[in-house]
């Protein structure tokens, strides 16, 4: 099985190319893959030039912006509008493909079924900041 990251990406109001660039750099440099001693010490970039490079799957997921504080129906008022969200998603994907060799994507705003085998105890929420 190939190692890699599934990145569920949500653009929110106020996100920009600059915040997307910062998030991408953080994602590529996170030391979350095991080294030879079993320590989380390697990043996607570290593995890119190895014999077993890790892939990056980027899937748009506006529901990450859900606000459930007001009642039983989530509000998505914090999510960027679909036009701006698509622009930021496309920008993020373009930048990722320019930096990292193995990038795949979902389809923006599609109703997709994504399967994940989570190898290990790591799931990290991150924000474009």
pLDDT tens for residues 34-81? Answer: 889 989 999 999 988 777 778 999 999 998 889 999 889 999 999 999
Q: Is residue 120 part of a domain?
A: no
Q: How far apart are CA 7 and CA 18, in angstroms?
A: 18
Q: Is residue 39 part of a domain?
A: yes
Instruction: Output the CA angle 44-57-11, nearest 5 degrees.
Output: 105
Kindly name the residue from 16, 25, 63, 94 that is annotated as catalytic: 63
Q: Is residue 89 part of a domain?
A: yes
104 is catalytic: no
Q: Is residue 54 part of a domain?
A: yes
Q: Is residue 37 part of a domain?
A: yes
113 is catalytic: no
Using 50, 70 and 90 to split pLDDT, how confident is the model at 126?
confident
Strand ordering across the sheet containing 55-60: 4-9, 55-60, 103-105
pLDDT, mean of residues 90-113: 90
Structural domain span for residue 51 = 4-105
Q: Is residue 58 part of a domain?
A: yes
Kindly name the residue from 45, 48, 61, 95 that is annotated as catalytic: 61
pLDDT in tens, 89-100: 999 999 999 999
Cα dihedral sign, 85-30-35-99: positive
63 is catalytic: yes
Q: Is residue 123 part of a domain?
A: no
Provide the number of structural domains found in the chain.
1
Q: Is residue 121 part of a domain?
A: no
Tell me the CATH number at 60: 3.50.80.10
């Amino acid at each position: 099985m190939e190692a890699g990251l599934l990145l569920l990406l949500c653009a929110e109001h106020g996100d920009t190319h600059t915040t997307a660039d910062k998030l991408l750099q953080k994602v590529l440099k996170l030391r979350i893959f095991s080294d030879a001693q079993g320590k989380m010490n390697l990043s996607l970039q570290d593995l890119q030039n190895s014999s077993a490079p890790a892939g990056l799957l980027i899937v748009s997921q506006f529901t990450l912006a859900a606000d459930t504080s007001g009642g039983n129906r989530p509000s998505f008022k914090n999510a960027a509008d679909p036009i701006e969200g698509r622009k930021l998603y496309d920008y993020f994907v373009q930048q990722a493909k320019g930096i990292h060799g193995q990038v795949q994507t979902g389809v923006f705003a599609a109703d997709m079924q994504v399967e994940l085998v989570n190898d290990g105890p790591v799931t990290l929420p991150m924000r474009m900041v």
